[in-house]
Structure 1
């Protein structure tokens, strides 16, 4: 199970799992068929279940539901991919403008607002509002409280053998190292000569260049290329003032434990299990 917040490297993690399972850059089917999105409302539940039941390969399933909303089974590995909340928020702002709201409403049967908030505000104003918005994290999972609720729940489970946390920035910084780490955790042996081709196939640039193969379908996304927009950290710092960034840090100190925040804001020094060893 790949459990993430929106715009946190979900598709990237799915692709890496697919490459490790099939051990070829040429996946046998579109990523969305190999790794169904379990809680997406655009596909009937029975159709999703039938698709999963027919699979004979090791299954890797996408969900945006936190682990507290998923049955926990010792036979299942739960991968939670995290991203600096401000980088997530910038990506979410741009992603909102790339969604065909009319098509989403048609597929889900729900009448959705046709003028998303992101379209009515500048990026800076939207970020300031997102940082300060006080909401129930369980009802608004892509809010700042919702993001930290999702990650805080996973962080509390990081000592469990079948829970693995991955940081988006670590994938950017050391893709091969993180792929090897994931393969080891999943018990997947990859022949040494295969690694260069698999790592190359998982690069952000390669996936962006072949976006039509990986972006969720159904015509919801207006531009598949824009789905992979930037992939680099630090976009929020380019538009927020020092005072606004300080306000973000002041707010999150009361919303998540300090070791989780340290890992979220400055990954690369330690893996999550290193924090648990240190207490």
Structure 2
């Protein structure tokens, strides 16, 4: 990672924060692979993912964590399946599997120590589960472009890719609460900010992630979507995504899907709100903090949590990484 000239990162100190506050009974350390921070378990999946056989009929939903991925997944799956609301009652992790989730939640020790614990297949062996999907599949991944299957990186295969991005300040706050509630982070918000800015969180550095996909946005198989646009004009984004997927939706269908995708409906929908994972956390005491997967979903929510000093650090960091690009939120 190229560090901002406004930030001095002590990698040894940050690695110690990760070990102390972000290692638990389903996360056993971290590695850096081609410049990207990943859970140590990812080492076992890396080559398999690079050599993953890609089907061009599939749709890949790519994003940095906590940028509107679940929202986009549900929208895309519904459009692909002609607004099958009944079929949509099946858990989203089964309908739109998360390619590398087995690296995020490594349940092998928990399964050995609790013989009655059998996680669903899409959590237990996510690569196998994705490979067994019927085509066209709707695949989620948080991997940066350079860790995607070589079929995609090389252009040998060109499945449709929908990338969703969100303002980094809101992303950081949402990622912090998510990490406390679902991934076992026990440190402070200030330390989490330091990890975020230094690229020391899973799938980071953030700007490397976003800008590599932004560079691909003119390709015919790539659609770049911003979370803020979804919040401000969800029907318009639905129509844009439907067109990209070759689907025609009536005004009534757009209205029905917009209602289905409202924050309140998503938050109260057990098929998409990660209720199953939060219940697992409570049952096995996997995390110290328990909270909802979907918290507020607002634009600018960072203002209630970030100090002016942190906001200034983010703004300078953003300018450093985007100043020579045409990207902005």
When normalised by structure 1's length, the TM-score is 0.75
Per the TM alignment, residue 126 of structure 1 is displaced from its structure 2 partner at its CA by 3.6
Of residues 215, 221, 227 in structure 1, which corresponds to 2:273? Answer: 215
Q: Is the 8 A contact 1:4 1:82 kept in 2?
A: yes
Per the TM alignment, residue 129 of structure 1 is displaced from its structure 2 partner at its CA by 2.3
Aligned partners of 1:83 and 1:3: how far apart in 2?
12
Of residues 126, 132, 135 in structure 2, which corresponds to 1:51? Answer: 132
Aligned partners of 2:324 and 2:246: how far apart in 1?
31
Q: Is there any run of 5+ residues in structure 1 with no aligned partner, and where? A: 102-115, 265-279
Q: What corresponds to 1:32 in structure 2?
A: 93
Per the TM alignment, residue 224 of structure 1 is displaced from its structure 2 partner at its CA by 9.4
Of residues 233, 248, 251 in structure 2, which corresponds to 1:174? Answer: 233
Structure 2 counterpart SS, 1:61: strand
Q: What corresponds to 1:197 in structure 2?
A: 256
Q: What corresponds to 1:271 in structure 2?
A: none
Change (3 A) 1:130 1:236: farther
Structure 2 counterpart SS, 1:65: coil
1:11-160 matched pairs, under 5 angstroms: 11-24=70-83, 26-28=85-87, 29-41=90-102, 42-45=123-126, 47-52=128-133, 55-56=134-135, 58-70=136-148, 71-72=151-152, 73=155, 74-99=157-182, 101=184, 116=185, 119-121=186-188, 123=189, 125-126=190-191, 128-130=193-195, 133-135=197-199, 140-143=201-204, 146-160=205-219
Per the TM alignment, residue 83 of structure 1 is displaced from its structure 2 partner at its CA by 0.6
Structure 1 counterpart SS, 2:101: coil
Aligned partners of 1:162 and 1:49: how far apart in 2?
20
Q: Which has the higher helix share?
A: 1
Q: Is there any run of 5+ residues in structure 2 with no aligned partner, and where? A: 1-59, 103-122, 283-288
When normalised by structure 2's length, the TM-score is 0.64
Aligned partners of 2:195 and 2:300: how far apart in 1?
17
Change (3 A) 1:260 1:99: farther
Q: Is the 8 A contact 2:97 2:130 kept in 1?
A: no
Aligned length: 235
Aligned Cα root-mean-square deviation (Å)? 2.6
Per the TM alignment, residue 99 of structure 1 is displaced from its structure 2 partner at its CA by 1.7
Q: What corresponds to 1:277 in structure 2?
A: none
Structure 1 counterpart SS, 2:163: strand
Aligned partners of 1:221 and 1:178: how far apart in 2?
34
2:327 is the counterpart of 1:230? no
Per the TM alignment, residue 93 of structure 1 is displaced from its structure 2 partner at its CA by 1.0
